Structure 1
Amino acid sequence: MRVALKSGVVLGALTAVVAGPVFAQSATGSLRSAQDQSADLFARDRSVAVRERSRPEYEALGTRAGTFMVYPKIEWSAEGNDNVFAVATGEDNDVIFRVRPDVSLESTWSRHALAAFARASIDRYQDFDTEDSETWSAGASARLDVVRGAAINFGADYASLIEPRTSSNTPGFAAEPVQYDITQAFLAAGRTLGRVRLSGRGDVRTFDYSDVRSVTNTVIDQDDRDREIRSLTGRVDVALSPATALFVQVTGNDRDYDVASTPVFAARDSSGYEALAGVNFELGAVARGELAAGYISQAYDDARFKDISGFGARAQVEWFPTELTTFTATGSRTIEDAGIAGSNGYLSSSIGVRVDHELLRNLILTASANRSVDAYEGIDREDTRLDAGISGTWLVNRNFGVNLAASRFEQESSGVRGGPDFTVNRLIVSLVTQF
């Protein structure tokens, strides 16, 4: 049975939720009001993560524009990459110079809130100019305080991006990176009634991929990847104590592709759901997090594609051994769309860990590692990926910062339709200027 998630239904259903105290969070940043942040039974704020800690003496002052604050920033970086095309043999190395301008705007109103951003990335390769790119994105999000303790959060953004060469979906024989656009919007709302919190969120996302040239100068059609994804999430939290809450969360989705099925081509149109149950907790000032497990399923319209279903999970746990160190562990098991011919989707299982340490007030060290396994449906292929890295951020003053990062990305692919096994090592040094 197909899940009906038309945009108007999503917006109307979520607006109707707002009849009392509200908890919601936007995709482009938190816009929770001060009274919401002091919610008694659902606040998880006894500790502050290293990356979230306020450092007033190193934060940009911004520029006032009426009742708004404007924060401009530019990041200048150079990257050394030893496998630009992410291939198994015959690796090519290059140096990439990158400029990333960024500007954000935040309101200073006592009620309601508005935030907006615009950012870009201009990449130039020293040897392989076919990889040169310009990407950009812009968006806004808002909070309307309907009455005291009640609000509606909503937002939208647009991005013109480049698919990285390490992506399993990008054609291996493409002569240039695949360019694509994402347009998305969301509406979120909630209500707290004593020990019970009800919340909901609706999202609409569209993906538009551009055709790309092959190494033999033919056109690789990417239209079969263009799609719109609509999702609606409902959640119920029940507080057992000020530090523990149980919850149930259900998300339904429709994934509609622009290219329809034909006798020789099977479209990937589908509908599915994710049903999870879990716990949200805080153990004093030592740890906090959320663990959830359940069932995920995606049913495809074209009978030539087999449905995908199984165990689903999402998790994030933060541990604070000291005020200067934060350990973060994450995990998930989800169903993702495939961009490889013959496959409708894949089960993606991932687990990761990150450690942030404040060596000095203005010197932050980070180490991270993430391992994922993608098991494809419809073709014999399984990808195992490992992404690990270390970095150091030096906040020189409120206007300048320096970042040094090293990372290693490995892919091992098995099966008859397996992709390449490759390794990519990167070294990046960046200078950030902000005002």
Structure 2
Amino acid sequence: MPDDFNRGGNESVTERARPDYDPIGIDAGSFIVRPRVETGLGYDSNIYLTESPATGAAYTVFTPSVAANSTWSRHSVTMTGSANLRRYFGESDRNETTWNAATLGRLDVNSALSLTGEAQFAKLSENTLSGAIDSQAAAFSRYRRDYYGVRGEYRSGQFRSFLALDQSVFNFSDLTLSDGTQIDQSDRDRNVKRITGQVEYAFTPSVSIYGQSTYDWTDYDRALLLSGLDNRDSEAARIIGGFNFDLAGLLRGTIGAGYVRRDFRSSSYKNTGGFSAEARVEFFPTYLTTVTVQAKRLLEDSNINQTTAFFNNTFSVRADHELLQNLILNAEAEVQYQDYIQSPRRNWVYQLSTGGRYLIDNRFSLRLSTQYTERDEQLPFSCPSSEHLAHVAS
């Protein structure tokens, strides 16, 4: 959900306009078209995220994309498309080819009411540190995601409300591990339908309070392949409320907290619930520096052994600094604690990264980044194991 009233009280370092360096785009009548190509070289010290032995490899990356935005005074249409081709030297099993295509249209019915429709189609690689799957297997996991959504927004004075309906369809490809082992992932294929409502009231032009309620239905295509147990079909509800603020020259953001509960349709699994929260606050200590703090506690599906779900607790701090008008530096630290339901399994993930972007002109820029990640997996009756990943890309 959009989380502000377009107050415009603050502007971060990364979103600040730089007319001498921002892409101009191509004027195509009622649209501005912005094509983009990013290419580079990198090195990954542990591409399969194994504790021992670690396999390192250099890689190339090629990422073309295009975006088209309407320039109408009312209504809007946005169309985007991108691909990411990553090729590892000597380790073709780890190669990735992903893509994404999306379109979004907004109909301004009148000054108070607007309707937005959106569709996304993507072929993606699994996040190796997400907690939804063992990290080594995730290095080979690819899936298709189709998303459809419609949202209505109504504004009247100090009130604003939303109602959104969406559906996500996931289809996972078979895993082919480095030793040739084939793993069928069709028991992870699922359809998620969701309805979300939100009401917001602005006490002042700078501060508002909101309440949000979400209900979703998750339907898997088949039973679990290894155990033959019922799959984790479920229904979940979340209620969350909090504040949204934009204090000029100081900070802006959203802080919300509430409760989430998931009920499984099969008696094989235990229903679960607990505290849920999402927060993002940007601080502006100077005009040239933006510090962003994020925290969240979400209930997510798990596909590790007999686990059903886990609470993903994340906290991160990021600083962006404009050293020169065309040289932006950044540094970030993040910690995750993944707490599995009905299981003694716990994961800790630590990430540190830093980088910079040098803008040459309206068409060219250079980027350098480095990242270190460590994952500590704690299992019952065993010592913690660690998976280390050092990653440098330019």
Q: How does the TM-score come out when normalised to structure 2? A: 0.94
Evaluate the alpha carbon distance shift between residue 264 and residue 134 of structure 1 in structure 2; reply closer, same or farther with a 3 A threshold: closer
> SS state of the match for residue 241, structure 1?
coil
In the other structure, the counterpart of 1:276 is: 240
Q: Is residue 294 of structure 1 aligned with residue 261 of structure 2?
A: no
Is residue 68 from structure 1 mapped to residue 31 from structure 2 by the alignment? Answer: yes
SS in 1 for 2:203: strand
Residue 339 of structure 1: SS of its match in structure 2?
coil
Structure 1 residues 107 and 218 mapped into 2: Cα distance closer, same or farther (>3 Å)? same
Offset of residue 154 of structure 1: 1.5
2:305 to 337, 341, 345: 341
1:328 aligns with 2:292: yes
Match of 1:426 in 2: 391
1:111 to 61, 74, 80: 74
SS in 1 for 2:20: helix
Residues 249, 120 of structure 1: alpha-carbon distance in 2 compared, 3 angstrom cutoff: same
Structure 1 residue 427: Cα displacement: 0.8
Question: 1: CA distance between counterparts of 2:167 and 2:95?
Answer: 30
State whether structure 2 residue 144 is matched by structure 1 residue 181.
yes
Amino acid at match of 2:296: S
| Residue number in structure 2 paired with 1:16 | none
Say if 1:248 and 1:278, in contact at 8 Å, map to a contact too: yes
Where structure 1 has 5 or more consecutive residues not aligned to the other structure, the ranges are 1-23, 31-36, 430-435
Q: Deviations over 1:45-85 (max 9, x none)?
A: 21101111111111122122232121111001111111111
**Stretch of structure 1 that moved more, 392-401 or 121-130:** 121-130
Measure the CA separation in 2 of the matches of 1:173 and 1:287.
40
Deviations 1:114-152 (A, max 9, x none): 111110011111121111221111111111111234321
SS in 1 for 2:249: coil
> Residue 170 of structure 2: SS of its match in structure 1?
strand
Bigger shift: residues 235-244 or 399-408: 235-244
Matched, 1:357 2:357: no
CA contact (8 A) 2:278 2:295 kept: yes
2:20 to 57, 74, 78: 57
Distance 1:417 1:110, change over 3 A: farther
* Residue identity opposite 2:55 in structure 1: D
Structure-1 residue corresponding to 2:273: 309
Q: State the distance in 2 between where 1:121 and 1:417 align.
A: 41
Superposed CA offset, 1:10-60 (max 9, x none): xxxxxxxxxxxxxx74xxxx9xxxxxx9xxxx3432110111111111112
1:277-322 per-residue CA deviation (whole Å, 9 max, x = no partner) reads 2111222321111111111111111111111211111111111111
Q: Does 2:222 match 1:259?
A: yes
2:93 is the counterpart of 1:130: yes
Question: Within the alignment, does 1:193 sit opposite 2:156 as a pair?
Answer: yes
Change (3 A) 1:350 1:368: same
Change (3 A) 1:97 1:309: same
Query: Are residue 84 (structure 1) and residue 47 (structure 2) matched?
Result: yes
Contact 2:50 2:136 in 1 (8 A): no
8 A contact 1:130–1:175 mirrored in 2: no
Count of residues paired in the alignment: 392
Moved more, 360-369 or 231-240: 231-240
2-side partners of 1:364 and 1:175: how far apart?
32
How far apart in 1 are the matches of 2:47 and 2:200? Answer: 46
**Which sections of structure 2, spanning at least 5 residues, go unmatched?**
none
The residue that corresponds to 1:399 in the other structure is 363
Distance across 2 between alignment mates of 1:173 and 1:249? 36
* Residues 58/141 of structure 1: CA separation in 2 closer, same or farther (3 Å cut): same
Shift of 1:174: 4.8
Distance in 2, matches of 1:166 and 1:322, equals: 34
Q: Which residue of 1 aligns with 2:9?
A: 46
Identity of aligned residues (%): 30
Local SS of the residue matching 1:224: helix
CA contact (8 A) 1:173 1:214 kept: no
How much has 1:363 moved relative to structure 2?
0.5
Q: Which residue of 2 aligns with 1:20?
A: none
Equivalent residue number for residue 156 of structure 1: 119
After alignment, is 350-359 or 278-287 more displaced? 278-287
**Residue number among 238, 249, 266 corresponding to 1:285 in the alignment:** 249
Contact 2:144 2:170 in 1 (8 A): yes
* Partner residue, 2:380: 416
Partner of 2:349: 385
Deviation at 1:258, TM superposition (A): 0.7
Query: Residue 421 of structure 1 aligns to a residue in which SS?
Result: strand
Higher relative CO (Cα under 8 Å, sequence separation at least 6) belongs to 1
User: Quick one: distance in 2 between partners of 1:368 and 1:254?
Assistant: 35
| 2:332 aligned residue (368, 373, 387) | 368
Change (3 A) 1:138 1:247: same
**Equivalents in 1 of 2:346, 2:34: separation in Å?**
44
Q: Please say if residues 170 and 178 of structure 1, whose CA atoms lie closer than 8 Å, have aligned partners that are also in contact.
A: no
Structure 1 residues 301 and 388: CA distance shift in structure 2, 3 A: same
Report Cα offsets for 1:359-379 as digits up to 9, x if no partner: 111110111111111111233
Q: For residue 390 of structure 2, what is the amino acid of its counterpart?
A: N
Higher mean C-alpha displacement, 414-423 vs 88-97: 414-423
Alignment match, 1:10 = none
What's the C-alpha RMSD, in Å, of the aligned pairs?
Answer: 2.1
Q: Confirm or deny: 8 A CA contact 2:127 2:138 kept in the other structure.
A: no
Aligned mates of 2:48, 2:138 — CA distance in 1: 10
User: Comparing 213-222 with 404-413, which one deviates more in the overlay?
Assistant: 213-222
TM-score, length-normalised on structure 1? 0.86
Q: Which amino acid aligns with 2:277?
A: A
